[in-house]
Structure 1
């Protein structure tokens, strides 16, 4: 019975890890030097990483709401408009909830596996 719990937890862990790896779809065909577009499959939201030309390695990441592409000249206007409407924050909150839920399930699953294995090994030592 205890082995079933471990096996189910390991299968669930594998499924969670696969879902984590498949979350993001990099849209290379739309990306450019300054912009890297990606699609969050969990939330159905398109995001962009903007790498300013004069910044060394700092990037800005934000969701694209009601548009599919953006150019460098329109970023400040776009972010200002979306920040005022509150949609930018709502998209971040939605993404954070999915990420936190996923990480919670992942850590809970790992703890169950560790605890179950510990119990199995402790019981084996007591029986021998």
Structure 2
């Protein structure tokens, strides 16, 4: 019975890890802008690396009602989307999906550790 639980937990863990790797699809990259697609949320995102920035940090934001963006239009676009509230809604959706995934992954890891610990205790009791 305990081995069956371990097998199910390990299969679930493998599925969760695979789903994590398959979440993002890199679409294309042109200069300082790269596009990626969040398969879980069905949302296209932009990573923008400012060319004259003092740090290597990127700016990331969702593309709403568009397929692409020009580097010169980023400020105007972000201002418009921020005022409408859609930008925040997309970030909240992404955060909820990420937090839910991490929660499931950690819970599954804890279950696997617990089952291994339980198997170890049972083996020690049989020996002793």
Same fold by TM (over 0.5)? yes
- 2:21 pairs with 1:21: yes
Is there any run of 5+ residues in structure 1 with no aligned partner, and where? none
- Structure 1 residue 127: Cα displacement: 1.2
Give the aligned partner of residue 120 of structure 2. Answer: 121
Map 1:92-103 onto structure 2 (within 5 A).
92-103=91-102
Give secondary structure in 1 for the equivalent of 2:67. Answer: coil
Residue matched to 1:6: 6
Equivalenced residues, count: 126
The runs of 5 or more residues in structure 2 that have no matched partner are none
Match of residue 39 from structure 1: 37
Question: Match for residue 59 of structure 2?
Answer: 60
Question: Aligned partners of 1:112 and 1:54: how far apart in 2?
Answer: 48
Is residue 113 of structure 2 the alignment partner of residue 90 of structure 1? no
Structure 1 stretches of 4+ moved >3 Å: none
Once the two structures are superposed, residues 27-60 of structure 1 have per-residue CA deviations (whole angstroms, 9 ceiling, x without a partner) of 02xx211101000000000000001110241210
**Offset, 1:72:** 1.1
- How large is the RMSD of aligned CA atoms in angstroms? 0.6
Task: Provide TM-score, normalisation by structure 2.
Answer: 0.97
Distance of 2:43 and 2:37 partners within structure 1: 6
Give TM-score scaled by structure 1 length.
0.97
Report how far residue 87 of structure 1 moved. Answer: 0.2
